[in-house]
Structures are given as C-alpha cells and as structure tokens.
Structure 1
Amino acid sequence: MTASLLTLDALNAADETDFVALLEGIYEHSPWIARRAFAARPAGGFASLPALKLALATAVRDATTGEQLGLIRAHPELAGKAMVSRSLTAESTHEQNKAGLTDCTPEEFSRLQQLNAEYNARFGWPFILAVRGPRGDGLSRQQIIDTFARRLNAHPDIERAECLRSIHRIAEIRLNDKFCVTPTLGNQVWDWAESLARFSDPGFAEQGQLTVTYLTEAHRAAADQLAAWMREAGFDEIGIDAVGNVVGVYHGEGREADRSTDREAPRLLTGSHYDTVRNGGKYDGRLGILVPLICVRELHQQGRRLKHGIEVIGFAEEEGQRYKATFLGSSALVGRFDAAWLDQADADGVVMRDLMAQAGLAATLDAIRGLARDPARYLGFVEVHIEQGPVLNELDLPLGVVTSINGSIRYLGEVRGLASHAGTTPMGRRRDAAAAVAELILYVEERASAVPEVVGTVGQLQVPAGSINVIPGRCRFSLDLRATTDAARDALDADVRQRLAVICERRGLSFTLERTETAAAAPSDPAWQQRWEAAVTSLGLPVHRLPSGAGHDAMKLHQAMPQAMLFQRGLNLGISHNPLESISNDDTELCVWAFQALLNAL
C-alpha cells in the first residue's frame, strides 16, 4: 500500500467535510470518530500528531457502549471470509498481508477459523488485534494465534476495552503511514530491549523465559552489552563498578576555549535496573536505561554537549530475586549498602561476597562505600519507567508524571484456632483460622478503598496440612500495605492491625504478625516534577499525574537528592513482571522526546 502524504497543517486548515475525508480509513467504516475529533479540535488546531491521536481515541472512549460495539463489529475477522473473498478495505488488506495471514498453512487457517467461531460465540463481536504489533512491522502468525487463544478467556468488559485499544493501535499505525512518520528512536530502544532479552538464566532460557538475577552469567553478559552500547553511543566514561552497576558519563561542555568537555560540571543522574524478576518482562527497569542512552547518542551524533553532564546508570540489582537484598545497586550510591548483605547466601549456598569476587568485583565494603555519590555534584535524579499498571492504558495516554512513590509496610502473619471435624463441629462452636483471615481480607479491601491512593493486599494464603473435611486450625497470610505518604500508610497499618486483633478476640483465636519490610514514601521533588510536566506538554499531550504503587531505584536516590519519575504506558492491560509486559515503538518515541525536552530545558 502506498501512503498518501498528509500534513498536520493541511488537516488543521480543513473544514469538517475535508477533515473527515482526509482521515478516511483510519478507523474502519466509522467516520463519526473523525467528526467528533473535529468538533473537539482546539482553536489553534492540533498541536502535534500525538494530540490528534489522543483526540480520536477520546472520541471513542466518550462514545456509548453501542457505538463502541459498532466500531468493533465494523472490523473484519482475521483470516476470515472477507479476506478470502478479497472484500477487505485497502488498510485491512495491507495489515493482514503484513502479518502473513494470506499465507497461512492449512493447519493455521483451520485454527484461526475455529478461534473466530469460538470468539464470536463467546463475545458476539470479531476478535481485534493490531497485527502489525508493538513495533509496527508485523506479528508472526503464531503470535497472533497465541494471543487469540489467550484472550478467549477474558471477561467481556475487559475484552471489549482491549479490542478498542487494539483499534487505536491500528489507527495509530495507519496515521503514521498517512503522515509518513517512522518512530526511529522508539524503534531503536525497542530493538535494544529485544536484543538485551537474549540473555537469560539457565532453566529459564531453555523455555524462552526472561530471568536475569544478580551476577549470573546472563546478568554479566547484559552488563557488558549495556557498556558496549554506551561506548558506541559516545559516552566519555564507561565502567562497571564494585556492585556491578553499569555507569556511563557524558560530560558537560567546557568553560574554557581549549577544553571540549568539563569533567567537573554538575551532572544529571538517571537510570534504572537491568536485573529482572523470574519469568519477567523486557522493559521493567531496562526502559529507564535505554531511553537516556539514546538521548546521549543523539547528542553525540549532533556534536552537542549540555552545560551539565549526564550520568546514566544501569543498576545491577533492584528486584531482590537472588538474595534478600533489594535495591542493592542504588543503595550503594546513597551510602546505604548493608554490610550484612555480603555474608548472605543464595538458595544454592553461594555467599554474595564470594560471588562478587568470582565476577571480578572488588567484594570489599570499603570499595562499595566508595561508590556513594556526593549530592552536591548532582542536579538531581530522574527515572523513566514502564507504568506497571492499567491507568495510562485505560486513559489512552502514552505518558504520565509520577507524583510520589508509595511507602509500604509488609507482614507475614498466622492466625491460630482449632482444627476439628468439619461435619461434627456446629457452626457456632468453631475456631476457624481461615475464616478469620478471610474477614481480614475483606476489611483490608474496604479500608484501603475508602482513602484515595491507598492500597492493601493479602497476596499469600496457606492452610498448613489443610484437608477438605477439617476446619482450618492455622492460616498463614501476607500483608502488603502502601500509600503515597507515610502518614496514610501508617494509619492504614494501625487500623488493619487493630481489626485483626478484634477479629481474633471475637472468634477466640490467637495470631502472630511479623513485619518484614518498611519503605518510606518518596514524593517527587516539585521542581523536577514540573520539568517532566513541561516536557509532556511540549509534545502536545495533557499532563496526567499519578502515584507509583511499585518501588523503584528513584526511592533510594530520594534519600540523597531530589528525584522525579516519568511513566510510559504499558500494553496488554499494563501487565508487568510477566512475559506479556509490552510497549509500543510510538509511545517509546514520545518518551525519548520527553527526555530530550527535559534535557534541553536544563
């Protein structure tokens, strides 16, 4: 398909009839979307292509359920009757060709027909998937079939929303074609992340799963690859420090005529972690390394330096998967590396100190303490991260500005009652430990829901030696309580503990509660948050502010210097810590642009 060049100036100058005609085919057989976007057009026209994309998506989000279903049903089935009869639109024909759906084997074609029938029977509309994928160059037929089968199990409300998001992605790619736009920087970051994911720990790599834990062979290979990319990008200094952090420095411009760089110029510190959870995703942490990396590459290729230096760090460990030590990499930078960590052993009995020595690291507390940064040398710390949640996805927004990283308190608890016969013990005579924990779970849900930006979770439940015909005498559970401020977190904590005591007293039970972790909230520095907001606004996008429920390296750097974060939308309902974690090249392009805008504004 040959794209016809369209410009934003031409679109902004058009009347309603021409506006709708120019956007014909962007949304399948649904000109009403363009009409409503035209009605919402700002007085000066759309400031950017991303602003236009958002206006179109907003028109769909604000439509009635009937209109949304009509839009979904306007789309053809994948490898369906319309494709066979060659009655698809030119756009759909191009997309299905790009994904190779016109070249299905008989087995693949039969499987797709079966899935189409099952899907229509369950939901009453055709399965929608942006078959050109998150990079825009086409999913494989197997990826399409696997996604089709997975989404058959979704709740209808969730699946309808996911279909609409797929339609917006289809529209985004079609708009790129019309405007002859290629997200080159987003593609590069996406490709780097894909390449970095080839390193995975034994036992996971063989299954096609991504797992990179502290100082394994895969971890060290990932570090070497990041260092190599930094070297190619033009960083002035590249190294791997005493805990395995990958550090790249791009110096500021010189203040004297005979100096091209100023090694003493204040620096902006940025980065994220390159380790992963077990069977994790490709973008958690790594996005925050690769985005500033490409920004430095662009500066170097342009022969530009800023008045300040840029220090990019790939933190060696944040997830706490191999040892009971989270934020190992960033803790060293703020002088909070716990000396006891060096003597910890992993599940195989490997002591951290010995592991470090085997990896060629200094493995001494003095060397690690020497990594602590002098806050006076730094402007602050900024971090880019995938959201790891559904909020931006549901709002059709590519970027969001973080207001605070939640503080948290975690417990492991156990309620003890009396294990007795399920048939012979009257209901009023029972001491059921599991029923007490169930009551606590409902209270945690109710109490956390009553306060904005507060969350509580019971993620682990276990009835030791439980049996189908025995009243639970013991029930073990976990508690995870989080809030954007320590005061809100502590209030939730006090109420939950008090309610547990009340429940157990009323039911004649006892309990134990062991606090396993406490993390302080890390509110974003107001000035740095405003810089991120200005960067997002410069792209023609609205600013959406949201807290981070997950912990990040930024909350450790917060202990030493001002910090603020930018979130990028995740695809697949915002799922993270999971192989389904995904981003698009277009969103990543905007993330890079926002980072460049922040750098230039400094």
Structure 2
Amino acid sequence: MLTLEVLNDSSQAEFTRLLDGVYEHSPWIAEQAWLARPFRSLAHLKRGLIEALRAAPREAQLGLIRAHPELAGKAMVAKSLTAESTNEQNKAGLTQCTPEEFAAIQRLNASYNERFGFPFILAVRGPRGQGLPKQEIIDTFARRLDNSADFEFAEALRNIHRIAEIRLNDKFGQEPLLGNQVWDWAEQLAEYSDPGYAERGELCVTYMTAAHRASAQRLAVWMRDECGFDDVRIDAVGNVVGIYHGSDPQAKRLLTGSHYDTVRNGGKYDGRLGILVPMACVRELHRQGRRLPYGIEVVGFAEEEGQRYKAVFLGSGALTGQFNTGWLEQADTDGITMRQAMLDAGCDIAAIDALKRDPANYLGFVEVHIEQGPVLNDLDLPLGVVTSINGSVRFLGEIVGTASHAGTTPMSMRRDAACAAAELALFVERRGAAVPDLVATIGMLEVPNGSINVIPGRCKFSLDVRATTNEVRDAATADIQAELAAICQRRGLRYTLEETMRAAAAPSAPAWQARWEQAVESIGLPVFTLPSGAGHDAMMLHQIMPQAMLFLRGLNAGISHNPLEAITNDDTELCVRAFQHLLNQLDNNQPRT
C-alpha cells in the first residue's frame, strides 16, 4: 500500500508514477501537486491535487473531462477502459445493463455530448463508495441535462475529484470507517417517514407522529447500546438526550446536537448529522475506555422545522426556558392539538419547565450541520467554520393600485401594483448584493385574481432580509422600506408591510470558532470561514452560552430540504475527525481531577 512517507520522499517523476490513474490520463495534475510537498495527511494530499487542477487553464481542465470515457459507452463495450474505470462501472452494475438500460444511457450520452461538448461525468461509486443504483445514474443523467454549460463543467470537475478521492483511498488502503458509520446511521434513521410520504419513498418526520417517535427510540437505542452513553432518556418535549460522563461525573459538560425532525420530502442529513457525528465520537471514546475531564451531552432536538405546528426551535427552546405554552393549543391539519399529540406520546407536559439548562453547568454548545448551500461545494472544500448565524427579519406586504383594462388604459395613466413590486424586487436584489454577508429576497409575488387583460390592481409579496449582524440587517431593511415608500408615492399607489418574524444574529464565540479552525487545520484542510444564512438550534443556545458551528459540504450544489441532499462518507469522516480534535483540545485545556 502507498504511504505519505514514500510520496513525500519521491522525485517528481516517481511521485507522478505512484499516482498514475488517480486522474484519468492526466499525469500533469500529479506533477503540479508534487510542488506542494510535504503532505501531512491524505486529506492534505487530496487538497493539493484539487488545487493543482483548480489552478490549471480551462483548456487543460476540459482535456481532463474529455479524457474520461462515456458511461456504458463504446470503450466499455470494447473493453478498452482503464482498470480503474472498469472497476467503477462494474461496481455500479453498468457492465450488466439490460438492453433497455443500455439504450437509455446511449441516448443520454448522445444528448449530453451534443449539448455540452464533453462526456457526462459521474462518480458512479457514489457517496458511500459502494456503487450507485443504475436507475439513480439514469435519473441523475437526465436531471443534469437541464443545467447550464458553466455549471455542468464545474460539476464534471467535482465528480472527477470524487472519483480521484476513491481511487486514492484504494491506493492507500484507507476506508472511512467513522464516516461510513454516520452515513449508515442516517440511512437507517431515514426508514421512518410519515404516512403519505413513506408510500412514495419520501422522507418526512414531523413532531410527535409515529415516525417521529420511532426515530427518537432508534436514536436512544443507538446511544445506549452502540455508543455507550451513561444516561439516555427522551425528555418531556421529545428531545433525545445522551450523557457521557467525564472522569468526574459532576464536571461541566460540552453540549452538542441538532434536530431529528425534517421538512416534508426533505433530506437525510439536515439536523441529523449534528446528532450522529458526536454519537460516533462518544462511541470511539467508550470503545477506548476513555473518559475526558468533562462530560459530553448530545441532544437530538425533537423539533426545529415548524412543519406540523407553528412552533420552531421547540426542542432547543425548551432547554433555554423558552417553550411557549400557547403552542399546546395549536391544532394540525387533522385537528389534533399539540397537547394531545404530546400526551399520546407519553410526554409529561408539567415537566417541561424543568428542562431549562443552567449555563453554569456547561462549557458551551457546538453544532455540526450540513451547509445547506453551494459555497463549500463550489470551492471543493469538505468543511467550513461558521462565523455567525445570520440575523433575519421577514415581512408580508401588499401594494394596491387600480385594476383597469389592459387595452384601453394608456401607459402614462396606469397604477400598476405588479410593476411597482417588480421595481422593488430589483432594488432588493441590488441592496442585498451591496454589502458582504447580506442577503435580501422577495420569495413570493402574487397578483390576486389576476387576468391576462387586466392591469394588476393588487400585488402581494414577501420580504426576507438576513445578515451576520443585526445592524447590517436593519440598515438594509430601512433602505428597502424607504424605497418601497418612494416607489409607491411616485406611482400613485399605497402599501402595507407587516413584520412577521425577527431573529437576532448569533455570532460564534471567538474562542470556540478558533477551536473549530484548529480542528480543520489539524486534518490538513485549509480553514475557510462563512456565515450561516439558515437558522439552527445553535441560535437558541447562543442566548445562554457560547456557541460555534462547523459546516459539512453537501453534494448536488449543496441543495437541502430536498431528496437530493447528499454527503460523502469521506467528507463525513473528516467531520468526525475534526470533532474529535475539538474534544481533545478541550481535554488538554481542562483541569485534571
């Protein structure tokens, strides 16, 4: 098996020879990466190869893409594939296609080449390395035909990097066992889904349904039987709480976790990753018979998404003393109140107040989460350190003009509400792009009872403004409100604007952010920081203790709240390793008993 010591001591020619086949017919990538020696880890080597390719001119990158064979194409039929490609296509079953599957792939190959001018590239061994099902390959092929040329060029390179990563693992005899464990747990947890979704193979787990309760029980069993937690319980709001004591059971604890509920037809990793990664860390500590000078408390928060009831952050809010008892009387679409759903699940509603945590008993809160965005994916980076969870504010608005005949009303005499909303939307786009780490969105536009031959007299819209600080958010909001007023005055319109939600920004505690940065650097990756545009349970814990988050790259342009949400076992392995490093940093900083 290949080792880093051998590679680091090799001449450029020997280095290139040893990495032959990692990138298809492209030895120049290894030749360039050789200049970045010595490599401190396999992750560092992978990054060196990625950076060599990212720095190359586009023509060289295109040549690499074109060096890859078509899937189930002529080279496979002629048995002229490289040994690496033969192995990969065989693992995905492409060497045993039915005539119908083969014909479908051939049609897709032809359409793809005609549209983009290069072959379709897909890491067919998949995110777990075991091989993708043929139908998933065909579906992905068809879906990616709708991408733009520039996006698909970058997606081809991303898949080439994944192919190279798996080939490097083979050369080094490395298997991401911890990443596999987390990935497998996520697959098994996804077996539970609410009625109406389970039948279609979709994932939906909403508060206190049978699927939700089964998910909680499965997490509790894993914590107790597989991971060795000392104390495991499901609390009064459905949070799954696992405690692994320190060498002194009375010592402070590190609090961590995320939510296990999902959106409707969602992904398998949003929230759940932040429960499973620390579970894997505790499992390893237990197997080693190791106790840290502090305890670890992992919480699977029962609810964060607000899908069945209008109650977001219910699970983490209970820990901060912010459970709103008014929520109990809300009814779902079937008329079942939250109170009844909780009682049916055996929850002790009278015990909710006692769930509030005393921050004096904790070191802080950390959370691992899938990024839910395209930034890390675009940069070919597995991990990113969060600087702040954006503060946000939301509005629902309406512009009112005069509905009149589209044929008889001169352009100069119109009071068009939709055009005013469109003008506002363009301003929102410009204002959101004017400041780093600020985003502003009009996500909904509606002309009630609109008609093709009627000038819109009313237009409803939403507004969402987010930034890493409340000050930046509020300045943008004020500018947008002023622009709305000016547009309506100039056009002779009136408007209403109702604030429906406001959440404060949650900047990461500097010391905890630095620990995540050290953890990422320790495994051989460059440290990249970014804000979180989405809300997380860490926002709630931020109110009572220091917090910081680590993001894991998502595949498929980082899409989330979607069945296409995906991660790789190798990225997840790095995430677990980074978490372990953070635990060890704390170990070194804690007093011994």
Structure 1 runs, 4 residues or longer, greater than 4 Å off: none
**What secondary structure, in the 3-state scheme, does the structure 2 residue paired with 1:320 have?**
coil
Output the CA distance in 2 between the equivalents of 1:323 and 1:428.
47
2:16 aligns with 20
> Does 2:182 align with 1:189?
yes
Q: Please state how far the C-alpha of 1:377 moved relative to its aligned partner.
A: 0.1
TM-score (norm 2): 0.98
Per mean C-alpha deviation after superposition, the further-off stretch among 521-530 and 340-349 is 340-349
The superposition leaves residues 406-465 of structure 1 with CA deviations (integer Å, 9 ceiling, x where unpaired) of 000001111111111111111111111111111111101100101000000111111110
Paired AA for residue 159 in structure 2: S
Q: Does 1:118 align with 2:111?
A: yes
The corresponding residue for 2:197 is 204
Report matched runs for 1:315-330 at 5 Å: 315-330=301-316
1:538 aligns with 2:522: yes
1:272 match: 258
Q: Does 1:288 align with 2:261?
A: no
**Which structure 2 residues correspond to residues 141-540 of structure 1 after superposition, within 5 A?**
141-232=134-225, 233-254=227-248, 262=249, 264-364=250-350, 367-540=351-524
Return the alpha-carbon distance in structure 2 between the equivalents of residues 242 and 385 of structure 1. 25
Structure 1 distance, partners of 2:388, 2:293, is 28
For 1:431, the aligned partner's letter is: R
Give me the CA root mean square deviation. Answer: 0.7
Rounded Cα–Cα distance in structure 2 between residues aligned with 1:132 and 1:382 = 32
What are the superposed Cα offsets for residues 490-518 of structure 1, whole Å, 9 maximum, x if unpaired? 10111111111111111111111111100
Distance (whole Å) between structure 2 residues aligned to residue 111 and residue 48 of structure 1: 41
- 1:35 offset after TM fit, Å? 1.1
**Corresponding residue to 2:47 among 37, 51, 54:** 54
Shift in Å at residue 64 of structure 1?
A: 1.5
User: Percent same amino acid among aligned pairs?
Assistant: 71
Identify the range of structure 1 (347-356 vs 96-105) with the bigger mean alpha-carbon deviation. Answer: 347-356
Code of the residue aligned with 1:472 in structure 2: it is P
Aligned to 1:95: 88
More deviation, 370-379/532-541:
532-541
Q: Is the 8 A contact 1:279 1:577 kept in 2?
A: yes
- Taking the aligned partners of 1:372 and 1:483, their CA distance within structure 2 comes to 29
Matched residue count = 585
For residue 157 of structure 1, what is the amino acid of its counterpart? D
Which of 4, 7, 10 pairs up with 1:11?
7
Q: Determine which of 20, 33, 39 is the counterpart of 1:37.
A: 33
Q: Distance in 2 between the 1:98 and 1:351 partners?
A: 49
Contact 1:447 1:492 in 2 (8 A): yes
The whole-number CA distance in structure 1 between the counterparts of 2:155 and 2:8 is 30
Q: Deviations over 1:367-386 (max 9, x none)?
A: 21110000000000000000
Give the structure 2 partner of residue 137 of structure 1: 130
2:564 matched residue in structure 1: 580
CA contact (8 A) 1:354 1:363 kept: no
Per the alignment, in what secondary structure is the counterpart of residue 370 of structure 1? helix
Structure 1 length normalisation: TM-score?
0.97
Partner of 2:590: none
Match of 1:259 in 2: none
* 2:154 counterpart SS class: helix
Unaligned runs of 5+ in 1: 255-261
Distance 1:427 1:347 in 2: 45
| Separation in structure 2 between the aligned mates of residue 555 and residue 425 of structure 1, nearest angstrom | 51
Instruction: Name the CA distance, whole Å, in 1 between partners of 2:241 and 2:426.
Output: 46
Superposed displacement of residue 238, structure 1: 0.5
